[in-house]
Structure 1
């Protein structure tokens, strides 16, 4: 994940006419509260076992991984040992952020097959594309169309491996190309039977867009969310959920329209005062107010 650009955004979501009941009434089973482990990036690599124990004690039951290496596993912990630690703490890695930049650059699928094997060993549902470097996503609409073709290829491999592929956004995907933008191109050019989208709500709002409008235009495409708030003073910073500027109650009220099946809390920048304590505060707000 990358350092964020300066770009002040008016975060009003034009939600006055929408019902904002914080409920998943469309689903008799409440959604699990997951955490993207990037939230704990300063502590997890130093103590995988201890930090995952803290995650479970905070109440989380699902995690989304990051930092996997084909050579070193998860921060020096093998995939099998990582899975054992998850199991010991009643945690499930339902999604994994893997680096696809080398595959998109050279077309080799060897690493993709390794990711699929890893995800299956973990008992995951999703393999997720977290971030595409600037040289590969290009600066034109055509470049995004080519990127979509590559993503479809990965989606086919994931489907053959019994998994689903998702694409996670930042704000740069919303760069305009005439009457459209990079994110719309990806939504339109990827096969909905092969590619789902993990909508990062903060980055949508940060880019000046409205998640609810995306839900209406592309219903059912956003099977996963990243839930992180925007600091009231400095929009470059995240805030504990419920203390920032994003109206999550209105967004969660439209979860069915979105297609959302699961979500992950994430603190990406300026989390304080303590990473796990801050995550626990956000967890408690979500549990009490949003699901």
Structure 2
């Protein structure tokens, strides 16, 4: 299978986007990005669609809550849009897959709770099919912090998903949870259709609820990005992301792009 296409999760440059949407997209395009992964797109699909078109950018994937009751897991006052609204906006933007970006930690502690999340995404996928948009799930570290019958909760979850529902494996957060990411990618096989390319020192070990302080440009940390990419024979996208970065964010993004481009990805 061909190498995955390079993309970037726009959360990486959220402050820059808020200050100057067109200027930020122009800078991404100048680095070489032709794909991005949008967030918060449901209420501004028209605006984003026009802006992406102006800069020769597409958003084949996006993040939106589909299995949670709140858009922001740390602010329960922000309600999620209905799935039909999510998929209508995704369709307008030309997305092929919407990944749910977060399901709270207490929903990964038992098979029963894991099954509820799988059922929610399976149900959302049936709605998305009417719009030509598929569904997936993006992990953090809570899907790896415990084991159930000797297995990571994410692996149990993967087996409960309908064939049409996929995974976007965040390599940094999986590593922070204790997974050997290359081996994990191999075990998950064709369920992994996208990777978040994110690196760090894992010192201190990051936890949810606080921005990590250890993230570094791709290829400069301890996350086994190269081995995971080699194992990800079914992934369509390699998506650069920083949750937080203490250095120059544009230099970090440029370094990440060059790391992937050096592997022959475009």
**TM-score normalized by structure 2?**
0.86
Question: Per-residue deviation at 1:117?
Answer: 0.6
Higher relative contact order (CA 8 A, sep 6+): 1
Whether 1:287 and 2:261 are equivalent positions in the alignment is yes
Unmatched runs of 5 consecutive residues or more in structure 1? 1-25, 74-78
Question: Per-residue deviation at 1:133?
Answer: 2.9
Unmatched runs of 5 consecutive residues or more in structure 2? 207-213
Taking the TM superposition and a 5 Å limit, the aligned residue runs for 1:11-22 are none
Match of 1:129 among 100, 110, 132: 100
Match of 1:180 among 151, 157, 180: 151
- For 2:250 and 2:137, how far apart are their aligned partners in 1? 26
Taking the TM superposition and a 5 Å limit, the aligned residue runs for 1:176-255 are 176-192=147-163, 194-231=164-201, 233-236=203-206, 237-255=214-232
Question: Per-residue deviation at 1:53?
Answer: 1.2
Whether 1:33 and 2:3 are equivalent positions in the alignment is no
Whether 1:50 and 2:17 are equivalent positions in the alignment is no
285 and 224 in structure 1: CA distance in 2 versus 1, 3 angstrom threshold: same
Specify the alignment match of 1:102 in structure 2: 69
- For 2:105 and 2:230, how far apart are their aligned partners in 1? 34
- For 1:138 and 1:212, how far apart are their aligned partners in 2? 22
127 and 274 in structure 1: CA distance in 2 versus 1, 3 angstrom threshold: same
- Rg larger in structure: 1
- For 2:205 and 2:80, how far apart are their aligned partners in 1? 38
Specify the alignment match of 2:236 in structure 1: 261
Question: Per-residue deviation at 1:255?
Answer: 2.3
Specify the alignment match of 2:209 in structure 1: none
- For 2:262 and 2:80, how far apart are their aligned partners in 1? 43
- For 1:168 and 1:241, how far apart are their aligned partners in 2? 19
Specify the alignment match of 1:145 in structure 2: 115
- Higher mean C-alpha displacement, 112-121 vs 155-164: 155-164
Question: Per-residue deviation at 1:277?
Answer: 2.5
- For 1:276 and 1:109, how far apart are their aligned partners in 2? 31
- For 1:235 and 1:49, how far apart are their aligned partners in 2? 35
Indicate the SS of the match to 1:42. helix
**TM-score normalized by structure 1?**
0.79
Question: Per-residue deviation at 1:46?
Answer: 2.1
